[in-house]
Chain A
Amino acid sequence: MSDFRSSQNEAHPNKTNSLMLGIILLLVLFVSIQIWFLFGALNNALQDNMYFAITTFVGSCLLALASFFVLRYLPDPLKAERKKKKG
């Protein structure tokens, strides 16, 4: 019998793939911004510009939290493998 989930999967068979790609791209973007912040903070802290170092630290922490939060939306591993193991 067809239920909501199976019909949704049929309508969008690449859903897991798109989600995975989106999440990974988002994470790569966050990490790139953090590397930029780190480089700037290092140079500005050397120049006694503490405000810049603190601001980038706060920004970097928020991005790290966002990165962990995004992991909630990772699609579940494929269930076919689990079934195989059970069988």
Chain B
Amino acid sequence: MTALDTLGDSILGTPAMPLARPLDPVTLAVLKGRLEQIVDEMDATLYRSAFNPIIAEARDACHGLYHAETGATLVQGGKGLPIFVGAMAFAVKAVIDKVAEEAAAGRAVLAPGDVFLFNDPYLGGTHLNDMRLVQPLFRQGRLFCWLASVGHWLDIGGNVPGGFNARATESFQEGVRIPPVRLARAGVIDEDIVAILAANSRVPVSNRGDLAGQLNALDLGEKRLNALLDDYGEATITAAFDAFTARAEALMRDAVAALPDGTFSFEDFLDNDGIVDTPLRIALDLTVAGDRMTLDFSRSSPPCRGPLNIARSTAVACCYVALKHVFPDVPANAGCLAPIDFVIPETTLLGVSAPKPVGGYTETILRVIGVVFGALARAVPERATAGPFGTINALSLAGHRDDGSRFVMFSFYGGGLGGNPESDGLNHANNPISTATIPPVEILEAAYPVMFTQWALRPDSAGAGRHRGGLGAVYEIEVLAKDGADVFLLGERGRFAPFGVGGGLPAALNRFSWQTDDGEASPPLASKVTDVAIRQGRWVRLETPGGGGFGLPHERPPALVARDVRLGYVGREAARALYGVALTEAGEIDAAATAKLREGAEA
């Protein structure tokens, strides 16, 4: 990366060097660590005290510090869910706008101890399950910055337990939508609001526990940040915030400038919107001009009837996630989006407003992230990352335990990451939008009347390549509840497989099935289905995609292919047909036959 080094030096050499001179580099480095620790500790507090496994185990939550006037991200935790990292700034901005409106109308004044709560996805991005708490931090009577916490609540009403209603055509079918409201005034919680929340969920105790956990995290953040401000003073911390933002911007400009100029296009498809069985196009024209980048999604499909739409703020947030994965050294704050321009017309499914349903937003943003990877792969093929498995498979089993109590077992499932210049893709990973770990089988079986009969890697699910994709998984669940269970799935990649790069092949498709009286069945819409009644003793099975392959499969060393066959990652047939490697009965490489197979392919 000589070009990058040279350019970096030239930028740093100019008088307009973005490093904030007023703060010495030592203090800056110290403050960076202290501030990140505060936010990391907020994350940890919520994970440990949350009630629902989606936060406690899967870490579907995030905390940060945000700019007083703009809401821009100042500091973000290292473990927070990546997609929230991008989206939270929009959420804080929504609260800032609300406060300004109220003040203008003379209705209310922002005070220390106020806490705002909301889940409106059209204002803050993502979907209704993500409950946001936003709290001002005052210093000497003035607003200094905002603290925010977001976490995925298990159930907020709507037609489908756990949200993820694959058949929603309006947000009203997805759950209760809450605009920014004051949950607390001057430190006193409004129990009326808590009561409204409780009345609108199938699992009020879980939500109450998660709310307490988020308040714990905000308490802790406020205490720690105040202590830091006492130590260093407001002016120093403000200067540090400015310097972090400038630094992120400088690093992102470096990274963009190192790419060749030009327009690079890539497109991929969603299976359908859950209502109409037509593919939805996600198309990106990525243009690099010097140290600026434009991401133009104009050629994408129009808004759809089902829940696969997203709001503009969500689209921007997921592009940020994609870029951060490609350029992991650029710090996570608002500065890194400064050199990026977005074209996201309201006439596409990526820029919708209320009440268009957005509950399946996860699938759409995964496809958006994929096309950013795909377009960058065309710009810099040697640094390409193949498509990750690209679906969260939101699977919900709901019903009643034998004692009559209601249960909702809801989880996201894993798959393979894409092959890349460094390695094969990771087997059974989480999606790029998250750092979520999966709940243990034993925790799920202790909590819900189910029994897993398989929790395994899925052979031949990875895209072939010089570096193959990571493997997807097979999960098979038997229902133990006497009255059976109703099953809901919102997934993707049932029709369009994760792509390969540089000659690498696509991975396997996603597949969902369940046991019936006369065999098994799969959803007509591939990976989306609601209200499937499963009787006691019957199974449902989810088979997830691996990641796409990197580079030509015929360039994979035969010894590695033989190992893949020995370990059962790749079948003999695939070894021969896709990799051009022939094996003997004993699994040894048949060198002559392999040479012939590979020759044939080149000819």
Partners in one complex: no
Interface residues, chain A, CB within 8 Å of chain B?
none
